[in-house]
Amino acid sequence: MIRLGLTGGIGAGKSTVARALTELGGIVVDADRIAREVVEPGTPGLAALVEAFGEQILSADGALNRPALAAKAFADDEQRAKLNSITHPLVAARTAELVEQAPGDAIVVQDIPLIVENQMAPFFHLVAVVGTDETIRLDRLTRIRGMDEQDARARIRAQASDEQRRAVADVWIDNSGDEEITREAVRRLWDERLVPFERNTRERIAVSGPVALADADPAWAAAGARLVNRLWALCGEKATAIDHIGSTAVPGLAAKPVLDIQICVAEMGVADALVDVLADGGFPRRTGVDHDEPKPDPRSGVTDPAVWVKRLHGSADPGRPANVHLRVAGSPGAVFAVAFRDRLRADSRFREDYLALKRQAEDTAGGDIDRYLEVKEPWFDQAYAAIAASLSDPERGPH
């Protein structure tokens, strides 16, 4: 099972996308519908609201009078917090119940208007945002829904901006044009990404990225931040640090379009305990990798393979290949991974030398990832010695 968070601003046409996903086989869990369901007549939710805000919030037939509730609940922050403390747990519990009822191979679509505002994006395998030009949204709200224009503008302004939504969007679905164009985009998303993502997650399959360099892409930084946040949501306090590392974390540097993320843990037993958690979250383990290439300590010259242990996970998402390295906090490999990234960011000559090496490795490897890494390894031995020495003696600086 995977869970897709679906969101979009008011008037963007999120319901159009939700219907299309339902027709394709997605199980849609609608947050707005649940929010109404948990306060229907006879429910504990409605009883709790009446106790908190008084019987004036009820209509003559005993149903919730939403404008009357809004007048009381949105009077100040304290009243709004009181409302949220009643409704949010009920909505969360009902949502969890519906998700739990879904089949093991389901693609669950959680339709939530305020994913961005409530900082929920990291808790989904993917987030899809339905985006529409503001002028079109205004037209839909005033012409189709009959809203006053000033009210429509105020509601749009009260929600997250498109910039904020793009920051959390793994997928951006433009719904500004013909509905059939939007539905075709949803079909491609379903066939090319969601279906294989679900299968790969269930079967513990990590996708492989191309062994070919791509021009630097500014979008890599945002994609890396999304994966870091998602991994924090999965690991919680079991991780001591999570960082976007490698070439895709270096602005302006050509790289294989595969994100590298490092998770630091207190010891390898923690990493092993996270295997299923990460796999269920879309990051299955890559078997057969249990260490980095050991390198000698720059001070003693001794090589200790035990301090170079690690675990490697990949991504089940065909739209975003990734390597997730789990290393012990403070170990040579963990320290070097961050220091190497920072050196690449700060030192243009070092960056140029590394790019030349990668070009050579790409030409030599012919698409073979093992050969690609073999070509790079001797250079990395020298880089490690230099960086490790500068870390142990900061006055020496980079050289």
**Last-in-domain residue among 203, 235, 251:** 203
399 pLDDT higher than 70: no
In-domain check, residue 209 = no
State the DSSP H helix or E strand holding residue 61, giving kind and residue range, or none if neither. Answer: none
- Binding positions are 11-16
151 pLDDT higher than 90: no
Q: What pLDDT, in 10s, does the model give residues 91-112? A: 999 999 999 999 999 999 999 9
Residues 263, 353, single domain; the answer is: yes
Q: What pLDDT, in 10s, does the model give residues 281-326? A: 999 999 999 999 999 988 888 899 999 999 999 999 999 999 999 9
3-state secondary structure of 331: coil
Residues 155, 189, single domain; the answer is: yes
**pLDDT tier at 398 (50, 70, 90 boundaries)?**
very low
Residue in the block written with tokens 């929010």: 35
Angle, CA of 306, 312 and 314, to the nearest 5°:
175
pLDDT above 90 coverage of the chain, percent:
79
**What is the C-alpha separation between 328 and 263, in angstroms, rounded?**
8
Q: What is the pTM of this model?
A: 0.91
Residues 38, 183, single domain; the answer is: yes
393 pLDDT higher than 80: no
Contact, 202 vs 314, CB < 8 A?
no
Contact, 384 vs 297, CB < 8 A?
no
Mean pLDDT computed over 27-52: 95
DSSP single-letter state for residue 112: -
**Last-in-domain residue among 171, 203, 235:** 203
Find the DSSP H helices in the chain: 14-24, 31-37, 44-53, 66-73, 77-101, 134-139, 149-158, 162-168, 179-189, 195-203, 219-235, 268-273, 275-280, 332-346, 348-365, 369-392
Bridge-based pairing of strands 107-111 and 2-8 is parallel
State the DSSP H helix or E strand holding residue 244, giving kind and residue range, or none if neither. Answer: strand 241-245
Mean pLDDT computed over 203-225: 96
- Binding positions for ATP are 11-16
**What is the C-alpha separation between 203 and 199, in angstroms, rounded?**
6
188 pLDDT higher than 90: yes
State the DSSP H helix or E strand holding residue 3, giving kind and residue range, or none if neither. Answer: strand 2-8
In-domain check, residue 172 = yes
Residues 384, 306, single domain; the answer is: yes
Domain span at 16: 2-203
Largest CA distance in the chain: 84
End-to-end CA distance of the chain: 49
CA distance readout (Å), 335 to 328, 339, 370, 377, 392 = 9, 6, 24, 17, 11
Mean pLDDT computed over 74-102: 91
Residues 241, 350, single domain; the answer is: yes
In-domain check, residue 211 = no
DSSP string, 156-220: HHHS--HHHHHHH-SEEEE-SS-HHHHHHHHHHHIIIIIHHHHHHHHHT------SS-B---THH
**pLDDT score at 242:** 98
Residues 195, 223, single domain; the answer is: no
**pLDDT score at 392:** 67
In-domain check, residue 214 = no
The CATH number assigned to the domain holding 365 equals 3.30.460.10
Type of residue found at 70: A
The CATH number assigned to the domain holding 106 equals 3.40.50.300
In-domain check, residue 157 = yes
Residues 109, 10, single domain; the answer is: yes
Residues 314, 245, single domain; the answer is: yes
Instruction: Compute the mean pLDDT over every residue in the chain, rounded to the nearest whole number.
Output: 93
**pLDDT tier at 397 (50, 70, 90 boundaries)?**
very low
